[in-house]
Structure 1
């Protein structure tokens, strides 16, 4: 069972919130045009993609041209009717400045396996992906701003925000936080074996799946730190398969 990082703690996805229980409502932008059978209508599928991911890609138009940037994110499933995605960046970042004035697109993708078929045409990938549209708002409330930043930190390493020095006034002034509702979103997945043509089944070519997953290495302590690896760091590494 995947682990949720919401609320800065590790909880299983069975601890559903109201936002998780709300079904996805397709719009013109989120409705699949091809391979419609791969669409997920259960919002819990969106929660799983967001929970299992560590980074997203933010798509925004800057000075008349599209800009797509990788960035960390945080999630609050208890914020609003459908939950909130938090993004951050420098106050001077063009993407952050431009985003609240337009509809942006955020994507998260997991590659779960390489699907090798008997024919080149039917090679594929097992994956889980989410696409989120909306006009983000710039977070100006100091408490929510800190909350959003904590969510981003805890999304990568649950519990980390309570084990470090919080950002000071100068650091907060240099950082912008965007809040994007999870209302308009779609999830698309593929799983399973290759789909070869019937006339190719007797061809003498190997077919199957190469599973893929993210694996953590053993935590490496800085040379200027003489402390033992804390429990929340060890737990996160072990969850990603680091040697114990």
Structure 2
């Protein structure tokens, strides 16, 4: 009997581990398939990512490769990262499929929009970095290059720099989701966040100071979207909390009165 009891306890864990392995394999296969399809265009992808810097290089200047294998490894690395970024919807879908059975119906209704919003906001942050922030940064760097110094950036260092900014802005644009979750889970309430609004605005400008050139225009251009994203998360968090409160009140009113003793 003890053996059967132990098997009954172990089987759910084994089944979960097997499912987790299957979903991880699906994620890895998705990344590898996308990488295989994109590898032929690796040079074109790098040229596209390098375009914001190349637009501000002095006439006759080019990017350089200081490593022997850099001309091959740098586009290779970029293509792998692009495949990973493009696989994010599939990866999140696999994560969702793994945790969804343990959620209540009400939690599932909220989790699905959150997942979709997270994906779209992450891509929006990357697009914002590429189309808005990169031109500002590289224009500033080109304008402050000392006289007599040739601006010729190494392709490997450039890739590390832009990938860091892509990831930073992608995560920064998740502010509405993070704010919503903090309110929904009950870690903080809406009133506390509203009172903290001045500190949030200052924090947005501090982050903008570190991620953009040292001028007020660039800092404001980054700080304002971050603040507006915080406000949107605060708005939707307050709305869902109000809806849950009304549901709770309605449910309590619909309950029959307790019988008299």
- Whether TM exceeds 0.5 here: the answer is no
Compare relative contact order (CA 8 Å, sep 6+) and give the higher one, 1 or 2: 1
Greater Cα radius of gyration, structure 1 or 2: 2
TM-score under structure 2 normalisation? 0.23
